Chain A
């Protein structure tokens, strides 16, 4: 059963540290999305790629966040430097363009 794989599942880090979250999309899916879920804001789209090219990252704070897709099997989301307000669950999803299959998310806690 194909699924989107995200690592790590949990991450606790100190403020100011770099955080890297990884996503392996489902083989054959040409679109990869990054979402962030917080209690206050709910689920928000941060960025997405199609055929590995970034299409939209307008939802992402540009000064500290970066998203890349170095190859078809790996997408990364980096935060440098991390801040307590970045604490959230970060989801990756992949699909052919409608909806998408979600990974289990990375719960990030910045202390």
Chain B
């Protein structure tokens, strides 16, 4: 079974600074997807960024980017120019990419609480 580990229960960053959230995972599969979700106090789960394991290029979405190290099974999220609205829980998640387009659910890490200091 796959596991996802987020070793930082809480992180704090000054507004406008850059912060990196860590995520490691364990799997024996070679093809899979990785995700970062944001959960603000409203509890809505919002997809921030997604990475396909077969792609070497790191995914980027505006101020959000990832550092995907497949051999190390590491998938960190970098938030540049942090804004007050970035304050939330951030969850790293894994999904298998079974042959034929499987539809397995997500395996989540425990989350990192990100605090933005004005």
List chain A positions with a Cβ less than 8 A from chain B: 30-31, 33, 35, 42-45, 48, 50, 55-56, 89, 91, 93, 95, 97-102, 104-105, 107
Q: A56-B105, A105-B43 are in contact. List 4 more A-B contacts (CB 8 A).
A: A30-B103, A43-B91, A102-B37, A102-B46
Main secondary structure of the interface of B (DSSP, over half): loop
Q: How many residues of B contact A (CB 8 A)?
A: 24
CB of A98 within 8 A of CB of B107, answer no
Main secondary structure of the interface of A (DSSP, over half): strand
- For residue B68, CB closer than 8 A to chain A, the reply is no
CB of B111 within 8 A of CB of A55, answer no
User: Which one of A91, A98, A105 lies within 8 Å of B33 (CB-CB)?
Assistant: A98
CB of A35 within 8 A of CB of B43, answer no
Name the residue on A nearest B91 (C-beta): A43
User: Which of B37, B50, B91, B106 is the most central at the interface, judged by chain A CB atoms within 10 Å of its CB?
Assistant: B106
CB of B103 within 8 A of CB of A99, answer no
Residues of A within 8 A of B47 (CB): 99, 101
Name the residue on A nearest B97 (C-beta): A98
Measured CA separation A105–B39 after assembly (Å): 12
